[in-house]
Chains A and B, each alone.
Chain A
């Protein structure tokens, strides 16, 4: 019961912040609402007993990515900070809303119609032990993930180099 209450609170926070995030006209506010969404999603991971995932979400997303956005907003223009009014045309809003509602109806219908999930859906309230996560992350057996781990390390390095090269000021 407590889980459901917590889930409802998190759902309200996430959805409300997400709606505010995509409808507000000011970019800085959008970034702030995105921070609330990210915290809410981290709370969902805690609710699912994936505490490591929640910590990673807070550290990487809420700590890192949001800072990148705030810096970019500060760098890109002073006007956006002081509330640049972004013009969103009415017809675009209507068509976007229609397409969104159509897709949402389809996806929710598919999610709610399939019943196979319920054969498995009993949820024990145990936390995944850190030892198991570590073993799976750097093990090389079946269901262990050392290869994507190494791959994502190289990928992050490549992205850092790419970001530096792209954003470097041209001297010529």
Chain B
């Protein structure tokens, strides 16, 4: 069996790779891809915790991961719709282009 901390370290690394991408990239789609990486890291943690801590019967983490997959699919669909609209409006897909809401 794989030790627990391998999953922890893997998901932490994946999470912070996603955070790094979110901080450094300025392209809207690239930022969204980084968010997907972060969500996947969290899903790994849910599944690993549930598997290793409650091997018999309880499926909370399992269903949390399942619903998280569904919600992130919806989230990315809406975000892509917004990005396409932004591109239509501002003719750019960079974050710096959207300055109308800035105070």
Closest to A10 in B: B10
**A7-B2, A50-B47, A123-B52 known; A163-B23 Cβ under 8 A:** no
Are B24's CB and A93's CB within 8 A?
yes
Q: State the Cβ distance, A40 to closest chain B Cβ, in Å.
A: 9
Q: State the Cβ distance, A79 to closest chain B Cβ, in Å.
A: 10
**A7-B6, A38-B40, A50-B51 known; A18-B59 Cβ under 8 A:** no
Q: Chain A residues near B32: list those with CB within 8 A.
A: 69
Whole-angstrom distance between the alpha carbons of A53 and B21 in the complex? 26
Q: State the Cβ distance, B18 to closest chain A Cβ, in Å.
A: 7
Tell me if B102 counts as interface (CB < 8 A to partner A).
no
Residues 102-144 of A, flagged 1 when their CB comes within 8 A of B and 0 if not, give 0110011001100001101111111010001100110000010
User: Do most interface residues of chain B lie in helix, strand or loop, or is the interface mixed?
Assistant: helix
Are A167's CB and B81's CB within 8 A?
yes
Q: Which of A27, A72, A107, A111 contacts B5 (CB 8 A)?
A: A111
Closest to B29 in A: A27
Are B40's CB and A37's CB within 8 A?
yes
Are B74's CB and A22's CB within 8 A?
no
Whole-angstrom distance between the alpha carbons of A50 and B59 in the complex? 10
The interface size bin for chain B is: 35 or more
Residues 20-41 of B, flagged 1 when their CB comes within 8 A of A and 0 if not, give 1101111101101110110010
Which residues of A from 1 to 53 have beta carbons under 8 Å from B?
3-4, 7, 11, 14-15, 18-19, 21-22, 27, 30-31, 34, 37-38, 41, 44-45, 47-50, 52-53
Chain B contacts to A: CB under 8 angstroms: 1-10, 12-21, 23-27, 29-30, 32-34, 36-37, 40, 43-44, 47-48, 51-60, 62-63, 65-67, 69-78, 80-85, 87-88, 93
Contact sample, A vs B, 27 pairs, CB 8 Å cutoff: A3-B2, A7-B2, A22-B24, A30-B29, A30-B33, A38-B36, A41-B44, A49-B51, A50-B51, A53-B47, A65-B36, A65-B72, A68-B77, A75-B87, A86-B26, A87-B26, A93-B24, A96-B20, A100-B16, A101-B16, A103-B16, A117-B52, A128-B59, A162-B81, A163-B77, A164-B81, A169-B88
Closest 8 CB pairs of A and B: A22-B21, A96-B23, A159-B74, A167-B81, A111-B8, A163-B81, A100-B20, A104-B16
